[in-house]
Structure formats: C-alpha cells, structure tokens
Amino acid sequence: MSAPAPDGPLAGLKVVEFTHMVMGPSIGVILGDLGAEVVKIEPEGGDHTRRLLGSGAGYFPMFNRNKRSICLNLKDAEDLARARRLVEGADVLIENFRPGALERLGLGPHDFAETNPGLIYCSAKGFLSGPYENRTALDEVTQMMGGLAYMTGPPGRPLRAGTSVVDITGGMFGVIGILAALHQRNATGRGAAVNCSLFETTAFLVGQHMAQQAVTGVAPNPMPARISAWAVYDVFETARENEQLFVGVVSDSQWAAFCKAMDLSDLGDDPTLAANNDRVRARDRILPRVRELFAGFEREVLVEKLEAIGLPFAPVSRPDELFDDPHLNHGGLVEVTIPGGDATRLPALPLEFDGRRLGLRRDVPLPDADREVVLGEAPPAA
C-alpha cells in the first residue's frame, strides 16, 4: 500500500465551510488535518465564535487550524456571487446554520445541481428529518433530551459531559458521511447531501444503555449510581491530597496478579472470590480493603506497581495538566497561535498514517487573511 501524500491523505480535496461554534468547524478541522484545502467563509469582522468568553474561549483556536479565511457579506450581491463561485469549485461544502438559512440565499444543496453536480453538501444540524427537525438545538440541549446528561450526573442531578462531546462526535459522523459520499462519487460521478445531527448522535452514544434496558428489562441507573460489571473499577484516594487514581481489575487473571503484587493474598487465595461475578457480589467486602491500601501509597508509587502488573489505571488529571503530559508531547500536540498572538500547543488529530502524525500545515487564520489567494483560485464567473 502506498504512503499518504506528504500533505495528508486528503490532499487536493477542496472544502468550503460556512460554520460557527463547534460542530461544523470540527468537521472542517478534521478534513483540514487530513490534508484537505479548507476555506472558511466568515461574516464581515470574522466569525463571532472568535470573541466568545468563558468556556467558549477555546472553541475557535481548537477547531480552526489548517484552514484559510475569507470574510464575505452574504447579503451583498457581489459577495454572494463570490461565495457561489467558491462552492462551484469545491468538492465539499460544510454548513451548520439554522435549517433553511443557506437555502434562502441560494446556497442550498439543490442550487448547485447543474454547476457542481459532484458536490458533497454536508449539513450539521440539531436533528435529522422528523418532528423536531426545525427546532434549535445545542450540544447541551441534546445531552439533556437524549439521556446523556441523565446518565452522567448522580440520580436527580442531570449533568452535561465535561466537553462538547456531542458537537465533536456529531462532527466526526459528518466526516464519516462525507468520506462515504466521496467514495460513492468515485463510482457514480454524483455528489450527495449528507446530514449529521446532535440529537441522533446523542441517541447513538447512549444506545448501549438502551440495549441494557432491552436485555435486562431494568432501566439503567446513572453512571455514578450504576452497578459496575467489576468489583474493582473506581476512583481511589491516595496518600497525597488531590491525587486520585482510577483503577480497573477486569479479569480473573488480573485479579490474581493484583492481589499478589499488592500483598492481598488472603483475598487472592479465597476461592469464593476467584470468579468475576462473585467478586462483584462481594464489593462491600473488597473495596474497603483496597481503599485502605491505596490511601497508604503515594500515587506515583501505585502507578509504578500497576503499570508493572499491566492493569488499566489512570491518574485523574485536569485538562491544563495535559500540556505537560510526556506522551502527548511525543507528537500529540501541535503549536498554534491564539487570540493576542501568543502560541500554545493543542491536541493533534488522534490518528497515525504509517507511523506519522498529521500536524499543522496552516496556523489558525486571522479574519479575511486569505482573501486574495482564495478569490484568485476560485473559478471565473460564468
């Protein structure tokens, strides 16, 4: 098998992006990291996402690298014509505005049937076709209505996940749809309209819990109150304050190795605890011993022991601690410029091609930074 092109496996693919916030830009950044030439069309003055505060302050720098920027006023006839020319020369269009917004401007999926019949038109929305399709949605809205917030928080306290998990995962499904449509186009020569959504993505994410209900006949409890499939599968305190550690012992052989390495021979030699399901029933006996044991060790000592055994474990980390993670710093972070001109390192696409990570080809663009180049490459007006 031949190696991917130096600029990525999607080198040469032309993408035009009408997006804001997270879901749409996440589609574009994945395609851009994979080598596609992505042009982000922003309103005059730049995407409003650039100016968000608080938890939104990181949206733009995280999801808009490897793109070029041009600002257009789509209510202006000349700028609208420029936008149309860009789409007519593209392989893929991405948009995540309210249903019908681009159609009203003459930039809908059917408006390029004659001028660009091979166009893959990807719309990232709140809902797919059905009774809810015209509702306005956000990541948090669909986490609440799709059961994810219920499963994440303790009973009676629904809690959104700690990142824009539905926006990003929904964007990933958009990329999957685009790649499938491109493969189909290779055979048919025709483009396709690909829709991805927040609500249906949320349902897919909680599908395992729906299946659990179907299999057991019992509605699943929220994750903080669930009955785990394993006896030791929890977060534990260690000798130092604020240094917690997650540990999972998920097989009978791991249990034997764990007990031997941690001097718990009385538990390891007990035949009534040899099988996993018997240990689950004896959690109230096992967990207090493990908690007491772990509380006497500093976390780094436990990490060394658990790594030697080969058990699943994880220090409980904050996002800011990942900047110094030695594994991520082995090619897993790319340097980008953030608002104000400072540089930082943010996560790269979590893929390798033939052992090679896909890095930064273009820094996060300033608004309208690429106008002349982008318009110069656009097809001539009809």
- What's the pLDDT tens digit per position in 205-220? 999 999 999 999 999 9
Q: Torsion over CA of 292, 297, 303 and 308, rounded to 10 degrees?
A: -90
Domain 228-318 maps to which CATH number in 3.30.1540.10, 3.40.50.300, 3.10.20.600, 3.10.580.10? Answer: 3.30.1540.10
CB 81 within 8 A of CB 88: no
Q: Are 33 and 62 in contact (CB under 8 A)?
A: no
H or E stretch at 125: strand 120-125
Domain boundaries in the chain?
A: 14-205+331-377, 228-318
In terms of Cα–Cα distance, which of 33, 18, 4, 13 is closest to 364? 33
pLDDT profile of the chain (382 residues), mean per 10? 65 98 98 98 97 97 98 97 98 96 96 97 98 96 98 96 98 98 98 98 98 96 91 97 97 97 96 97 97 97 96 97 97 95 97 93 97 93 72
pLDDT at res. 5: 55
pLDDT in the model for residue 379 = 87
Q: Are 68 and 38 in contact (CB under 8 A)?
A: yes
Contact (CB, 8 A) for 160 and 140: yes
Catalytic residue list: 167
Note the pLDDT of residue 6: 62
Query: Cα–Cα distance between 239 and 235 in angstroms, integer?
Result: 14
Which residue type is seen at 259?
C
- The pLDDT score that the predictor gives to residue 2 is 42
Residue with the two structure tokens 């394993």: 230
Cβ neighbours for 268, distance < 8 A, ≥ 6 positions apart: 255, 256, 258, 259, 260
Dihedral angle sign, alpha carbons of residues 178, 180, 181, 182: positive
User: Collapsing DSSP states into helix, strand and coil, what is residue 247?
Assistant: strand
Phi, psi torsion values for 75, nearest 5 degrees = -90, -5
The CATH-assigned architecture of domain 14-205+331-377 is 3-Layer(aba) Sandwich (3.40)
Same topology for domains 14-205+331-377 and 228-318, yes or no?
A: no
Q: Please state, in angstroms and rounded to a whole number, the distance separating the CA atoms of residues 342 and 17.
A: 26
